[in-house]
Amino acid sequence: MTRPEPPNNSAAAVVLLSGGLDSATTLAIARQQGFACHCLSFSYGQRHSIELDAARRVAASMHAAEHRVIDLDPRTFERSALTDAAVDVPRDRDEAAMAGAIPSTYVPARNLLFLSYATAWAESLDARNVFIGVNAVDYSGYPDCRPAFIDAFERAANLATKLGVEGVNDGSGGLRVHAPLIDLTKAQIVERGVSLGVDYGLTTSCYDPDARGRPCGRCDACRLRAAGFREAGIPDPALRSA
């Protein structure tokens, strides 16, 4: 039996959703652009797995079409401070330090794998769009947040897939990987999200929250988030509600 293919699902997008500030903003942008958003999160042994609860709250609050949490084998990501309790999360780093060497919180090939899953799911949905909340301005120095990687991934994904081959043939261009935050400062991201009605009180950014889920205030993610809200002149509602 051959099953009829769904019509070109041009109004659907897969949105990578971590439960943090950036991905919540990205979801709001995708939604504003009119996409039905299929949100994708990953459980990969991250010490801040509390972010998955945040991702669920964010997806629900923004009326996602669907939200999936996929289990990844944590053994694939050994030797990261985010997956190995024996490796410390760096604290109190200033911007100069963050702009230097890749930190121990780097997770091997994480965005490559996340985007590959998103591509597979997009193709299953016959969707043509994937969103990722990477940011190359106020970030921790991860290589997989740079524009050159996003461009190279989009190219590889289109060469890898039926979606891409058909996109060449029908002139649609195949899969598009959107990284709408890539050139924004953290303050600009906060402003954009607030203007779109994102409730940042639902999000969590900390790499190393305590047992009650409260942010440490000292890891790169906490520091970048705090600086963003401060520069935007907006109080962080997640701190208020903590």
Q: Minimum Å distance from CB 40 to its own copies?
A: 9
Nearer to its own copies, 45 or 228 (CB): 45
For residue 212 the two structure tokens come to 């009650």
- Establish if 43 lies at the interface with its own copies (CB under 8 A): no
99 binds its own copies (CB under 8 A): no
Q: Does 105 bind its own copies (CB under 8 A)?
A: no
Going by C-beta distance under 8 Å and a sequence separation of 6 or more, which residues neighbour residue 23? 15, 16, 17, 55, 58, 132, 133
For the bound state, the minimum distance from the C-beta of residue 209 to its own copies, rounded and expressed in Å, comes to 20
Which residues have CB under 8 Å from 87's CB, separation 6+? 79, 80, 81, 104
What is the distance between the terminal CA atoms of the chain, rounded to a whole angstrom? 54
SS3 content of the chain, % helix, strand, coil (to 5): 45, 15, 45
Helices (H), 8-146: 21-32, 50-61, 95-98, 110-125
Q: Which of 149, 200, 207, 229 binds its own copies (CB under 8 A)?
A: 149
Cβ 195 to its own copies, closest distance in Å? 31
Q: Does 117 bind its own copies (CB under 8 A)?
A: yes
Determine the interface stretch with its own copies among 22-30, 141-149, 194-202, 211-219 (rule: CB under 8 A).
141-149
- Residue 33 CB partners (closer than 8 Å, separation 6+): none
State yes or no: residue 112 binds its own copies (CB under 8 A): yes
Contact 151, 141 (CB under 8 A): no
**Which residues sit at the interface with its own copies, rule CB under 8 A?**
1-3, 5, 68, 70-71, 73, 75-79, 84, 86-88, 102, 104, 106, 108-113, 115-117, 119-121, 123-124, 143-144, 146, 148-149, 152-153, 155-157, 159-165
